[in-house]
Amino acid sequence: KISTIYPDGTTIVTGLKKAGKDIAAKTDGRVKLKVYPGGVMGDDRAVQRKIRIGQLQGQVAQGGAFADAYEDSQILNVPLAFNNYDEVDAVRAELDPVIKQGLEEGGWVTFGLIDGGFAYIMSDKPVKSITDLRDQKLWLPANDAASAQAAKAFELSPIMLNIGAVLTSLQTGAINAFAAPPVAALTLQWYSRVHYVTDMPLLYTFGLLGVQKRYFDRISPADQKVVREVLENTFDTLDAESRKENLSAFQAVQQQGLQIVKPDAEQLKEWKDYARRATNALVSEGQVSQAMLDRLNGILAKYREAH
Amino acid sequence: MITIAIILLVLLALMGAPLFAIILGAAALGFYTQQTELAVLHIDIYQLSNSVVLMALPLFTFAGFLLSESKTADRMLRLSQAAFGWMPGGMAFVSLIACAFFTALTGGSGVTIVALGALLFPALVKGQYPEKFSLGLVTSSGSLGLLLVPSVPLLIYGIIAQQMSQQLDMPPVEIVDLYLGGLVPALLMIVLLYGYCVWATRGTDVPRQAFDFRELVEALWEARWELPLPVVVLGGIFSGFLVVSEAAAVTALYVLVVEVFLYREISLRKLPGIMRESMIMVGGILLILAVALAFTDFLVYAGVPEKLFAFIQTHVQSKVAFLVLLNILLLLLGAMLDIFAALVIMVPLILPVALRYGIDPVHLGIIFVANMQIGYITPPVGMNLFIASYRFKRRVTELFASTIPFMLVLIVALLLITYIPQLSLWLVR
Amino acid sequence: MSALLRWLHRIEDGLIVAVLLLMVLLAVAQIILRNFFGTSLVWIEPLLQNAVLWIGLLGAMIASRRDEHIRIDVASSLLPERYHPFLTTVVDLFTAGICLLVAWYSVGFLREEYQYAGDAFANVPSWLLQAIIPVGFSVMAVRYVLLFTMGLMGKRPRLQEPHA
Ligand code: NA
Ligand code: NA
C-alpha cells in the first residue's frame, strides 16, 4: 500500500497501477500494489507516520522527503548546480545508484528516480537579479526547513503558506512570485497569475518511490526480485516520460503567455555566488556531506571539460 | 461479529452516547477489520492541525458569542425597522433580514433565536401579527443566514471538500466560492418567505410604521461601530486582501475592541468567561471534525466510496434521480442529526458519488447546507425548535406546528436551488 | 480530590483563553507583517494551525466536565425519566472506554514520535504539540468514569443538548 500526492490519471499513477497488475500476475497474487493517489492519505509527514505504524508501506514523494534516512539523497537538490539537463544526466548516471544504495541502507527500498524537472522562478514582474526577487512577495512552502534555509542564504524574506493557499494568494496579490517546475505551475494553475519566467534552472527536482525495507523484507526473495524488476523498468519509463513532459511544459508556459527573462552574465554570477553560500550552509548544517558535494562538483567539472 | 458491533454502535448512538465516541468507535472498528494498528486514530486526529482555513471556526464563533452577549441585536432590530418597517408586512421583512444578518455574523452557531427571538417575537405580536404566525416566523428565520458569509457550516463543508479535492477529479472548492455561491440562494429564501408573509397576512390589518428619516439616521448612528463589520469581512475576503482565516482573526479582534472598548457592553472581567464558553462549543465541533477525519480515512482506505458509487449507479441512472434521492436522504438526516454531525458524516461519502453524476462541488455544498437549514426546524432533532422552546416557553410540538408553512416555503426554495444549479453557480463559474 | 479537580479546571480554562488570545494576536500580526512589511514569520503559520488542535481538545475536555457533547439522543426523549440513569450508565462507560482506547494508542505513538521525529518547526518538538491528544483523551476518560460513578450514586447531571 503506497501513497502519493500525484493525482489519479497522471502518468505516474497510471504507470504504478499498471506495474501493480504486472506484479500481481507475475507473483500469482502473492504481492499486490495498492496506490492511494492524490494525497488522500495526507501530506508527507502524515504519510510517514502511517508508514511507521504499518497502515501504509511506502510513498512516492519528492526526494527531500527521504532526507532523514539518507541526507546525501538531497545532493541533486543543490541550488544552481546544473546548467542544463545534459549535466543532470551525466551526474545522475553516476549518482543514482549511490543514492539508491544510501536510501536502502537508511531503510528505504527504492526503484529509481523520476525526473521532476528544473524549478524556475515565475513572477509578476521580471526577475533577473536577486534584488529583483527581493522586491517580489515570494512564496515558499510552509513547514519546509530546507527551503526556509535556502531563503535565508539568499537573504530573501519569503511568505510562507501551505501549498493549498498558493493559488488564492496569487490571485489576491498576497504573493506574486514562486519557484516551481513548469509542470506543477501548469497543473496547479499557478502560471495563470504570473507574467514572467526566469530562464535559470534554479533547482533540480525529482520524485521517487520508497518502500520501507522492513515491509519489503516480508516478501520472499524470489518475489522481491520480481517486484524490483517490474518497478525498476516502470520507473525507467516514467523517468523518460516525465522528462519529456517537463521539457514540453516549459514550452507550454511560454505559449500560455509567460515571457522569458534571462539574467545577464553579471547577475548570473551574483546568483551563483549566493547559491554557493547556500550550498556551504547546507554542508555546515550537515544536510549534505562535503564528500558528496565534492563528488558532484568533480563529475560536473569532468563533464564540462569534455563538452 | 462485525455486524453485532455495528448494531451495538447504532444502539449506543440512539441511547445518547456522544457523537464523537460513536464515530471513533466506528473508525476503530473499521481499522481493526483492516488490520491496521489503531495508532492511526492519533495520526488522523492530529490532521486537525493541518488545515489553513480551520482557524476561522474558533475565531468566527468567538466573535459571534461577543455579538450575542452585547446589545447588537437591539441595534440591528432598530435599524432594520427604521429602514424596512414601512413596507407591506414590514415587521415580517425586518425579522427575516435581521435574522439572516445576525445568523451570518455569528456563523450560524444557533444563537440567533436566543439573541433576537426575545426582541422580535413581542415586536411582531405587538404589531398585530397572529401569534402562531409570529412564532413560526421567528423559529424558522433563526437559521436563515446559514448560506451567507461567514457561515460556519459552509466553511466546514469547504474544509472537508478541500481535503478530498486532490484525490478526486474535481474543480477546486474555494471557501470564497462557496460564500459567493450561497448568496443568491439565501436571497431567494428571503424573498420567498417574505412573499409568503405578505400573502399570509393579507386579510389582517397589520399597521405599518411610517418611514422616518430621522429615526433611520439615529439608528444608523447608534450602530456605527458594528456597521463596518460586514464591510471588513466581505471586503477583506472578496477583495483578496485577506484569506478566510485572516478575515476571521480581524473580525474577532474588531468585535472585541468594539464591544469591550467602544460600546463598553462587555466588561474586561466577563471576557475570559465568554472566551471559554465559546471555545467549549468550538471544542465540541472540532472534536467531532477530528474523529470524522479518522472515519473518512478509514472509508477511503477501505475503498468505500468506490463501492458505494458502484452500488448507487446500478440503481440510479440520471442526475435528476440522484438529486431527488439526495434531497430525501438529506432531509431525513437533517431531521435526525445535528448539522455538524450530518456534514462530517455525509460529505465524505456523498461528494465523490455526486461528482460522478456531474454535480459541481460548490452546488453540492449549497444543496447540503440548504437541506440542513430545514433540518433545524424538523423534529426530532431540530436545534431551532429546542432553542425556541427554551426561549418562548412553548412545547416543541406547538412550535413545530407553527413552522410547517414556513418549512414548506423553504422546501420550495430548496427544490429550486437543487434543480437550477445556475442559482448557486452563476457568481462562481 | 475536589481540590485537584479545581486545579485542573483552572489550568484548562486558563490555557484555552490564552491560546485563543494568542491566536487572534498572532494572526493579526501576520496580516500586518505581510501586507505592510512584505514579509512573514515562518513559525506563526504552523503555530496557529497547532493552536486549532489545542483549542479543539481543551474545549472538548472542558465540555466533558458536564457531558456537554453533541449527541443524537433519541432514547431519552422517548423513554420516561426513570429509565434515564440506565442510559447514562451504559453510555458513560462506553465513552470512557473509547477515550481510553485512543489515549492508549496515542501514548504509544507519541513515544515513538519522541524517538524518531524531530522538530515540527523552530525548535518546537513534534511530540510536544501532539501531546495534547493523549492528555485530552485521558482527561475525558477520567471524566466519563467519574460521570459513571456519579450515575451509580444517582448524582449525575441529566443528559442535555449542548449550548441550547
Ligand atoms: Na431536525
Ligand atoms: Na437538526
User: Where in chain B are the domains?
Assistant: 39-425
Q: Is the pLDDT of residue B429 over 70?
A: yes
For residue A31, what are the contacts with CB-CB under 8 A and spacing of at least 6? A23, A24, A219, A223, A226, A227
Give the total residue count for chain A: 307
Between residues C40 and B43, the one the model is more confident about = B43
In this complex, do A160 and C109 lie within 8 Å of one another by their Cβ atoms? no
CA separation for the pair A170, A191 (Å, rounded): 10
Q: Is the pLDDT of residue B378 over 50?
A: yes
pLDDT category of residue C161 using cuts at 50, 70 and 90: very low
What single-letter DSSP state applies at residue A57? -
Q: Which of B153, B161, B186 is nearest to B341 (CA)?
A: B153
For residues B155-165, b (16+ Cβ closer than 10 Å) or e, as one string? bbbbbbbbbbb
Q: Give me ligand 1 centre to Cα B422, in Å.
A: 27
CA separation for the pair C112, B339 (Å, rounded): 37
CA separation for the pair B374, B140 (Å, rounded): 8
Residue C119 to chain B, least CA–CA distance (Å): 15
Q: Which of the residues C33, C35, C36, C39 would you substitute to probe the A interface, choosing the one with the greatest number of A C-beta atoms within 10 Å? A: C39
CA separation for the pair A286, A177 (Å, rounded): 29
Residue A53 to chain B, least CA–CA distance (Å): 6
Q: Is the pLDDT of residue A192 over 90?
A: no
Q: Is the dihedral of CA B306, B312, B318, B324 positive or negative?
A: negative
Chain B positions touching A39 (Cβ under 8 A) are 166-167
In this complex, do B300 and A9 lie within 8 Å of one another by their Cβ atoms? no
User: φ, ψ for residue A61 (rounded to 5)?
Assistant: -150, 175
DSSP B391-420: HHT--HHHHHHHHHHHHHHHHHHHHHHHH-
In this complex, do B46 and C62 lie within 8 Å of one another by their Cβ atoms? no
* Chain segment B235-285, per-residue pLDDT in tens: 777 776 777 778 889 989 999 999 999 888 889 999 999 999 889 888 887
User: What is the rounded average pLDDT of the residues A243-270?
Assistant: 88
CA separation for the pair B142, B115 (Å, rounded): 10
Q: Is the whole-model pTM more than 0.90? A: no
Give the total residue count for chain B: 429
Q: Are B225 and B258 in contact (CB under 8 A)?
A: yes
pLDDT of B70: 85
Coil, helix or strand at residue A116:
strand
* Chain segment C67-84, per-residue pLDDT in tens: 888 776 677 777 887 888
CA torsion, points A173, A178, A182, A184, in degrees to nearest 10? Answer: -80
Q: Which of C103, B38, C127 is nearest to A53 (CA)?
A: B38
Chain C positions touching B235 (Cβ under 8 A) are none
DSSP C26-60: HHHHHHHHHHHHS---TTHHHHHHHHHHHHHHHHH
Coil, helix or strand at residue A127:
coil
CA separation for the pair B374, B345 (Å, rounded): 18
For residue A217, what are the contacts with CB-CB under 8 A and spacing of at least 6? A224
* Chain segment A212-222, per-residue pLDDT in tens: 888 988 888 98
Q: What is the ipTM of this complex?
A: 0.81
Q: Distance between alpha carbon A167 and the CA centroid of its chain, in Å?
A: 20
pLDDT category of residue C162 using cuts at 50, 70 and 90: very low
Return the residue of C nearest to B246 by Cα.
C27
pLDDT category of residue B168 using cuts at 50, 70 and 90: low
User: What is the rounded average pLDDT of the residues B311-333?
Assistant: 86
CA separation for the pair B146, B298 (Å, rounded): 30
